[in-house]
Structure 1
Amino acid sequence: MDAIFGPVETVSNFIWGGNWGDTQILPMGPLAIILLGTGLFMMFRVGARPLRRFFPALAEVWQGRKAQGEDGAITPWQALSTALSGQVGTGNLAGVATAITLGGPGAIFWMWITAIFGMALAFSESSLAVKYRETDEYGRINGGPMYYIKNGLGKKWAWLAVIFCLGTLFSAMVTGSMIQANSITEAALETGSAVFGLSIPTWLIGLILGALVFAVIIGGIKSIGSVAGKVVPIMAGAYVFIALIVLIINAPKVPGAFAEIIGSAFGLREAVGGATGYAVLAAIRAGIARGLFSNEAGQGSAPIAHAAAKTKNPVQQGEIAMIGVFIDTIIICTMTALVILTVTGDFKKSGALVAANQCIEAGQTLPEGASLDTLFPSAYADGREALIEQNGPAAVAFLEQCQSAGIDIDEAALAGASDPSVLMDVDHAWETDANSAAITTRAYGAAFPGGEFVVPVALFFFAFTTIIGWSYYGEQAVTFLLGEWATHPFRYVWIIVVFAGTVLPAGGLWLLGDVSNAAMAFPNLIAIIALSGVVVAMHKMNDDPDHGHPVIDKTEPPAE
């Protein structure tokens, strides 16, 4: 596995983190820099439209419950819901926790900044998707970055559209299907064991999930849009409502949480300790990376859904699309962050693991064949006692070696390396050494009785809607590459992939997903920049009071 995923991890770490191996090449990943830079560029070019037209766009979302034109397959509301089904997912639960863990509370501020500029990207790409969409001989609407690359940039850019489609297809299979199915399986196994004391076979979960997905996607985009239009608003609304209850319970702590976010974002708290630059950079890096992962702005997935909207106005659908980014990041991610930052409880972390990480950062290397997880399991690791009993002597020897090298290791950390009962007390779940979604789960669990089930239930619905949303993205990529005939076979292949995701370990699939997401984003961002003049023309024409909301002419020949 290391031979397969080792090079993939290196590439993924460079794309998203800017480091190649152990060397930091860039302060943050090149994809994050390009995405944020393109967002800034488009925000400037469209005159800060996402800010100026925010409230009118909300009205357009509400009006979009009904068709706004004859062309298209689903209502603008259903198109937004389908796009949100792909956007709202594990990133809103696990991604937020990871951002805070890696970059501190300040990472949330930079997620907000990323979302604001991401709204400009969403507006641009979705406007282009409607303008350059096609209707095939079967009356089916096809659209997305591959079509505005082909029809907007000309045939000589067809190779760029192919790269985008290959990235979309692979990303759909990995992150849009298998990883989501794997997350549902883990949640079902944990809930079945904790609540009912049952051991559910994974193949049974796979069959049930596959059947549910098949029942939705077999009807194509109209069925997907109909289900998403009903499930996604309820799903998102219920999650926000529960989070609001938690915040009302912890209302006195909410102002402090906002102050901590702002203070940490600019290193105000770290200034005393002289680590301001590092802390701010970590917050920016984590916030941008997790924000982009969550809302997918600029990646090119959401415009595929918006291209199917029944609308005669590309600009109007672009404004609806930018609201999706706001809902995903500014609302849902913020609610998750505030729950994590305000809820306090009896949380723990391993002092030995903290010390081991200090040693590694100082240049010490673990014994050959050993891993950090086995030598220094976290406070919430499964089988922790057995691991410490087996590897305690080696763990103690490693920390003592660090002490000999001049690294300050306290006695509690040394004791914790061989005694599982020795742990550090912390106030908040994000200060523990639990992983991603487990942090959010423990925060809700400490908030009110039964709260630990909020995340598994939300995760099921978030992941399920992501699976059905991404099935359409993959289907559109296959249609572009192979033709209409491949649509129905792809739906059956999709069910097989979903089933495989329930019975196979996720492993390095996240790394493959990171690379395939980049394969989508780079071609899309090139197209957005190249077609920025078209976006500006639509933007200005739509603001012209003599034109109102025009039907944009889509018949002009593409550039050659």
Structure 2
Amino acid sequence: MTGVLEALRDILWGWPVLLLILAAGMYFSYESCFFQLFHPIRWLRAALGSGKERGSGRLRAITTALAGSIGTGNIVGVAAAITVGGPGAVFWMCASAVLGMMTVFAENYFAAKLREGGSRASGPLSYIERAGKIGGALGGVYALGCALSSLAMGNMVQVNALASACEDLGLPVKWVAAAVGVLVFFVARGGLKAAGRLTEKLVPIMTLLFFAASIAVLWVHRENLPGAVSSIFDGAFTLRAGAGGTAGMLIAMKAGVSRGVFTNEAGLGSSAFAYTDVKGHTPEEIGCMGIFQVFADTIIMCTVTGLCILCSCPPESLDGAELTFYAYRSALGELGGTAVSLCTALFALATVIAWCCYGREGLLYLTRGRGGSAYPVAAGIAAFFGCLMPLSQVFIIGDAMNGLMALPNVLALFWLMRAGNMEKVGLYKPG
């Protein structure tokens, strides 16, 4: 069974797909004159706002999108990337995120633009189905991938980390699996508005808690910080035989890009669902909210987590969430281990909430509005088994389903750009 899943993963999430995602990020970055690098004040202002926009839905949308992306990818995903690709994977996570900022900008921009044009579909489906003669077929593939990915990457991967965190806190996994399955069933019965109300309160709290614990870890291990930073760059570009020559760099690159997309979702189009109900903002401003989302998720949170792991010098026998737990426990004692376990559980819960909404939208699109009642049952079952399956198998399933979303999404983005649907004015094409 594992061999079949790996073969499917290699087809749907191999180098061709990852390079296509990177190419999209490079293309949109070039077309915008690398707006994300040279105009940070403009996209930060558009994303964070003035605080006078109550009722616009901006804050709720951003926290929902961050809930979908700031998840266990920031804890387990970073650790998995380092396990497979070494310290250099952290660099490639950030490099792909810099390009991914403009991919998410384009996703949010097109979704908002075509929503204004009267599209009945929501989120990325509103622009994917407009991608020429094959738009309908691409929309169907994307909706299927979204529904399946929400059960795999957005559900099983997250609850697997949640179960590990609960086990670290001394709770029996089987009972956790049953409780999580029931909880996810009820969560999936809600919608984006209900999820937004919860994530609006949950995301800031869990992010501040995790960030504070991370800064404390880096302070305790501050003597190891220069070496950790150096190892990231050495691992990213080394061609020495000891690292496997060119293969070592390529492994680090693939692990970093793969886990980078896993955590920030650039190229998947999923975050565009979260901005469906934002009012009073231009498509360009909604695109800038996506840039901020990737920046906060990967450039800040994943980098900090990676540095914490590398500074703690963990034993080679550890992998996955164990690496992260060790890093925080080695610096802060049992209190640190408890804090990161709690953060893992909260991250996982927030991500599941957001992705249940995305997956439900995909299923409704496939069934023309008639399949909503079946989704909560599927989500609850997936959550139960996700808690019990080995992490490696769960990641394989999640990666494969991501590919079903990425391929139609990126192809649609390229088609829309070639068709001249992105106005090169104002915020997008700075003079």
2:97 is the alignment partner of 1:115? yes
* Aligned partner (choices 264, 268, 272) of residue 235 of structure 2: 264
Residue matched to 1:367: none
Q: Distance in 1 between matches of 2:425 and 2:194?
A: 35
Residue matched to 1:11: 8
Contact 2:181–2:382, Cα closer than 8 Å, also in 1:
no
Q: Distance in 2 between matches of 1:226 and 1:65?
A: 18
* Aligned partner (choices 146, 151, 158) of residue 180 of structure 1: 158
* Aligned partner (choices 114, 118, 124) of residue 132 of structure 1: 114
Alignment of 1:169-208 (within 5 A): 169-192=147-170, 200=172, 202=174, 204-206=175-177, 208=179
Q: Distance in 2 between matches of 1:439 and 1:294?
A: 17
Residue matched to 1:373: none
Judged with a 3 Å threshold, the aligned counterparts in structure 2 of structure 1 residues 123 and 284 are, in CA distance, closer, same or farther, namely: same
Alignment of 1:334-353 (within 5 A): 334-343=303-312
Residue matched to 2:38: 52
Summarize deviations over 1:1-46 as a string: whole Å, max 9, x none: x3xx3222123135445xxxxxxxxxxx212111111111111112
- TM-superposed deviation, 1:303: 1.4
Residue matched to 1:432: 316
Q: Distance in 2 between matches of 1:291 and 1:143?
A: 25
Summarize deviations over 1:217-262 as a string: whole Å, max 9, x none: 5442111111111111211121111100111122232223222222
SS in structure 1 of the partner of residue 267 of structure 2: coil
SS in structure 2 of the partner of residue 132 of structure 1: helix
Contact 2:141–2:405, Cα closer than 8 Å, also in 1:
yes
* Aligned partner (choices 224, 248, 251) of residue 195 of structure 2: 224
- TM-superposed deviation, 1:141: 7.7
SS in structure 1 of the partner of residue 76 of structure 2: helix
Alignment of 1:210-221 (within 5 A): 210=181, 212-213=183-184, 216-221=187-192
Alignment of 1:311-460 (within 5 A): 311-343=280-312, 428-429=313-314, 432-450=316-334, 451-460=336-345
Q: Distance in 1 between matches of 2:179 and 2:217?
A: 32
Letter of the 1:111 partner, please give it: M
Letter of the 1:525 partner, please give it: V
Residue matched to 1:416: none
* Aligned partner (choices 287, 292, 296) of residue 265 of structure 2: 296
Contact 1:68–1:312, Cα closer than 8 Å, also in 2:
no
When Rg is computed on C-alpha atoms for both structures, the one with the higher figure is 1
Contact 1:142–1:307, Cα closer than 8 Å, also in 2:
no
- TM-superposed deviation, 1:89: 1.9
Give the superposed CA RMSD. 2.9
TM-score, structure 1 normalization: 0.70
Judged with a 3 Å threshold, the aligned counterparts in structure 2 of structure 1 residues 494 and 96 are, in CA distance, closer, same or farther, namely: closer
* Aligned partner (choices 303, 310, 317) of residue 279 of structure 2: 310
Judged with a 3 Å threshold, the aligned counterparts in structure 2 of structure 1 residues 325 and 544 are, in CA distance, closer, same or farther, namely: closer
Judged with a 3 Å threshold, the aligned counterparts in structure 2 of structure 1 residues 245 and 128 are, in CA distance, closer, same or farther, namely: same
- TM-superposed deviation, 1:149: 1.7
Contact 1:441–1:454, Cα closer than 8 Å, also in 2:
no
Q: Distance in 2 between matches of 1:459 and 1:292?
A: 19
- TM-superposed deviation, 1:517: 0.8
Residue matched to 1:146: 125
Contiguous gaps of at least 5 residues in structure 2: none
- TM-superposed deviation, 1:69: 8.2
2:225 is the alignment partner of 1:243? no
Judged with a 3 Å threshold, the aligned counterparts in structure 2 of structure 1 residues 80 and 539 are, in CA distance, closer, same or farther, namely: farther
2:256 is the alignment partner of 1:280? no
SS in structure 2 of the partner of residue 310 of structure 1: coil
Contact 1:265–1:283, Cα closer than 8 Å, also in 2:
yes
Summarize deviations over 1:347-377 as a string: whole Å, max 9, x none: xxxxxxxxxxxxxxxxxxxxxxxxxxxxxxx
Letter of the 2:257 partner, please give it: I
* Aligned partner (choices 43, 50, 54) of residue 29 of structure 2: 43
* Aligned partner (choices 532, 543, 551) of residue 417 of structure 2: 532
- TM-superposed deviation, 1:191: 1.4
- TM-superposed deviation, 1:444: 1.4
Judged with a 3 Å threshold, the aligned counterparts in structure 2 of structure 1 residues 275 and 530 are, in CA distance, closer, same or farther, namely: same
Q: Distance in 1 between matches of 2:423 and 2:54?
A: 18
- TM-superposed deviation, 1:441: 1.2
Q: Distance in 1 between matches of 2:116 and 2:357?
A: 16
Judged with a 3 Å threshold, the aligned counterparts in structure 2 of structure 1 residues 102 and 254 are, in CA distance, closer, same or farther, namely: same
Alignment of 1:32-111 (within 5 A): 32-63=18-49, 67=53, 75-111=57-93
Contact 2:161–2:321, Cα closer than 8 Å, also in 1:
no
- TM-superposed deviation, 1:107: 1.7
Q: Distance in 1 between matches of 2:95 and 2:427?
A: 26
Contact 1:127–1:318, Cα closer than 8 Å, also in 2:
yes
Letter of the 1:262 partner, please give it: F
Residue matched to 2:408: 523
SS in structure 1 of the partner of residue 170 of structure 2: helix
Judged with a 3 Å threshold, the aligned counterparts in structure 2 of structure 1 residues 243 and 539 are, in CA distance, closer, same or farther, namely: farther
SS in structure 1 of the partner of residue 17 of structure 2: helix
Judged with a 3 Å threshold, the aligned counterparts in structure 2 of structure 1 residues 456 and 298 are, in CA distance, closer, same or farther, namely: same
2:369 is the alignment partner of 1:484? yes
- Of 228-237 and 184-193, deviating more is 184-193
Q: Relative to total residues, which structure has the larger helix share, 1 or 2?
A: 2
Contact 1:174–1:513, Cα closer than 8 Å, also in 2:
yes
Contact 1:88–1:294, Cα closer than 8 Å, also in 2:
yes
Residue matched to 1:508: 393
Aligned length: 429
Judged with a 3 Å threshold, the aligned counterparts in structure 2 of structure 1 residues 505 and 69 are, in CA distance, closer, same or farther, namely: same
Q: Distance in 2 between matches of 1:68 and 1:285?
A: 42
* Aligned partner (choices 453, 467, 470) of residue 355 of structure 2: 470
- TM-superposed deviation, 1:48: 1.0
